[in-house]
Structure 1
Amino acid sequence: MTEPTDTDTTDTDPGVTVAAASTAPEPVVPQAPPAAAAPRSTVLLLGAGELSRELALAFQRLGAVVVAVDRYADAPAHGVADRSAVVRLTDAEALTALIDREKPRYVVAQSGAIAADALIAVAERSDVDVFPTPRSTRLGQDREGLRRLASDELGLPTAPFWFAGSADELGAVAQHAGFPLVVKPISGAPGEGQSVLLRVEDVEPAWKRAIAAGRITHNRVMAETVVEVDYEVTLLTVRSISATGPTLTFCEPIGHRPGDGEALESWQPQQMTPAALDAAKSIAARIVNSLGGRGLFAVELLVRGDEVYFSDVRARPQDTGLVTLRSQRLSQFELHARAILGLAVDTIMISPGAAEVRYAGTEAPVAEPSGSEIAAVVAEALATQESDVWLFGRPDETDGRRRLGVALATAPDVIIARDRARRVGAALRKLW
């Protein structure tokens, strides 16, 4: 992914970067000096988007001091954190300087664009725990390395895949593998820069779209055969440490699919055959234990009957897991925070639920609705039984697409919950 450089400037302190403005930029520094009385309770969140905002609140409710960090000012998590800083997350020197200054007990990577070298150096210290592990962070930026780990080293079933370093190589792969093919950037948020090749003419646009995605420069792409599947699931897997060693706990499977236009629909539980569920847990256990560390892992799987294929894994909360805000006793954010802090976790589902995440389009800016418009739309949305609404107001530059809001609903069964979430989402779309 390519990192924008025209909107960031670095001041004389190598640990702080401030957003450029029409006038001379002013340094953005921590809001208060680190709390010396409880340095071991400090959590440094690298990435301060909307999901990090919820994670920051989860850590704070458990007694931690949170320092939220991102490459731009006024990020969503900055508004709730105890302290905040603006740092270019791909700058290893700047990250190291910030960590030396804050002296956190835990460093938690919440962005896919982070200088893994800095995390490796910090992880070697005895007084700082880094999550996910630096290896997980590096592989999170490298689909090629992750896929080779899963397929070649662990022997996990995957769709047939190839890698290409140029448009010509991608064209050769397409000629060999046939169409359709899914093309993904080596590094990027789920779905970002992704295309489906249907004919030779699609190769060049797909190549350009993939290598332009994100904020980390790359010039390789992954091409994957389109596997006919019944559904896709996210299996949230919590890795914690008990007195007897590492322990894995699984949430109920979450089904998901793209909604109409700029949306993502998810629901829990996704019904699976006993054989498929066993295979899913086995795949998740092997990849998560290989990555190591503590926390929540979102393992993406493709399912056809009893057959399950590994697709991807992210060692942090995901959009598909937002349904857990209402479906589980502990949301994905609370599970992540508890596991990192070494506290007890449970994955009890209290009700079937569904969610619809709405994103900003890429063609035109989102118009800001008035207060009265928001109030009227929210009232209409919440008229649906067992519904809830989350609206996102602050600009979020941490992830690929900007989230506008989430429609949530629960019900006695998934079918009704999905219908309710769609109705709530339809009401919210009047805002955008």
Structure 2
Amino acid sequence: FASDFEEFKAAVEAIGIPCVVKPIMSSSGHGQSVIKTAEDIEKSWKIAQEGGRAGAGRVIVEGFVKFDYEITLLTVRSVAGTSFCEPIGHIQVDGDYRYSWQPQSMDSAAKEAAQEIARKVTDALGGYGIFGVELFVCGDEVIFSEVSPRPHDTGMVTMISQDLSEFALHARALTGLPVPEIRFLGPSASRAVVVEGDSTEVIMDNLGKVLEEPGVQMRIFGKPEVKGHRRMGVILATADSVEEARAKAERAYDKLNVQIL
């Protein structure tokens, strides 16, 4: 952690280049950057100060971790105790989620280790609700990355993969109701609809074709504008396997016609 530019330079030197820079509060990759050379140091500091959701302030400098894959383990704390959704695999671009799928295939040792870490982290934080715990997995080794104390973007796949989505689970837990069971319905995938431009008029067109294949759904978020890039919707798909679900979501996405007026 670094609170000012001098501390930041010292942290980069201690961690080494390349390294990742993040504001202490961020989402969708805002304010995050990668330092690849010494010339990037000042630029990355500026990005973190201007792009973080909490404004200027402390930043985090992280070293790179070699891992096989990354997961989100949605962890629910309710009056009934702690429960876990099936692990979610995902792909990010520039710190922002683009694809997710459930379940991510894991061996039993790695899955148990992930649940143990998620339980420790969420027990330490306390409170009721859903937590998006992000973890790196390398073989049987699991390394904690970060946690979001709310429904997670990669967890939007649960709107089609579970009987109770991450939003329903969060609401149930927060209102003091029990979560006795989370029923997984089958292999599923999501594809984020990210729009680039500067407009208050974004049209999602050709939806008849997008939704023509069985097992495909779409959510349009109704956000009023886009400046730069913004996630404006998500395509959801379910199939007999994760691979089929991901391919189906991608086919639907390819049919979507986004117009920026």
Match of 1:385?
214
Q: CA deviation at 1:358?
A: 2.0
Q: Is the 8 A contact 1:236 1:253 kept in 2?
A: yes
1:203 aligns with 2:203: no
1:340 aligns with 2:168: no
Match of 1:360?
195
1:395 aligns with 2:224: yes
Match of 1:177?
15
Q: Is the 8 A contact 2:28 2:97 kept in 1?
A: no
After superposition, residues 32-111 of structure 1 pair within 5 angstroms as none
Match of 2:56?
218
Match of 1:240?
78
Q: What SS does the corresponding residue of 2:158 show, helix, strand or coil?
A: helix
Specify the code of the residue in structure 2 equivalent to 1:308: V
After superposition, residues 111-260 of structure 1 pair within 5 angstroms as 163-242=1-80, 247-258=81-92
Structure 1: 5+ residue stretches without partners: 1-162
Q: What SS does the corresponding residue of 1:312 show, helix, strand or coil?
A: strand
Structure 2: 5+ residue stretches without partners: none
Q: CA deviation at 1:396?
A: 7.3
Q: What SS does the corresponding residue of 1:360 show, helix, strand or coil?
A: strand
Query: Which has the higher Rg, Structure 1 or Structure 2?
Result: 1
Q: CA deviation at 1:239?
A: 0.8
Deviates more, 1:311-320 or 1:213-222: 213-222
Q: CA deviation at 1:351?
A: 1.2
Identical-pair percentage = 45
Q: Is the 8 A contact 1:360 1:366 kept in 2?
A: no
Q: How far, CA to CA, are the matches of 1:396 and 1:214 in structure 2?
A: 19
Q: Is the 8 A contact 2:28 2:95 kept in 1?
A: no
Q: How far, CA to CA, are the matches of 2:49 and 2:254 in structure 1?
A: 34
Specify the code of the residue in structure 1 equivalent to 2:215: E
Match of 2:121?
287
Q: 1:262 to 1:226 in 2, by over 3 A?
A: closer
Q: CA deviation at 1:291?
A: 1.3
Q: How far, CA to CA, are the matches of 1:297 and 1:342 in structure 2?
A: 16
1:183-220 Cα deviation digits (max 9, x unpaired): 00012225221101110011111110001124423322
Q: What SS does the corresponding residue of 2:65 show, helix, strand or coil?
A: coil
Larger relative strand fraction: 2
Q: CA deviation at 1:261?
A: 11
Q: What SS does the corresponding residue of 1:169 show, helix, strand or coil?
A: helix
Specify the code of the residue in structure 2 equivalent to 1:412: D
1:226-280 Cα deviation digits (max 9, x unpaired): 10111111101111114xxxx1110000111125997611100001111110110
Q: Between Structure 1 and Structure 2, how many residues are aligned?
A: 258
Specify the code of the residue in structure 2 equivalent to 1:341: T
Q: How far, CA to CA, are the matches of 1:220 and 1:238 in structure 2?
A: 29
Q: What SS does the corresponding residue of 2:79 show, helix, strand or coil?
A: strand
Q: Which one has more relative contact order, counting CA pairs under 8 Å at least 6 apart?
A: 2
Q: How far, CA to CA, are the matches of 1:381 and 1:259 in structure 2?
A: 23
Q: What SS does the corresponding residue of 1:416 show, helix, strand or coil?
A: helix
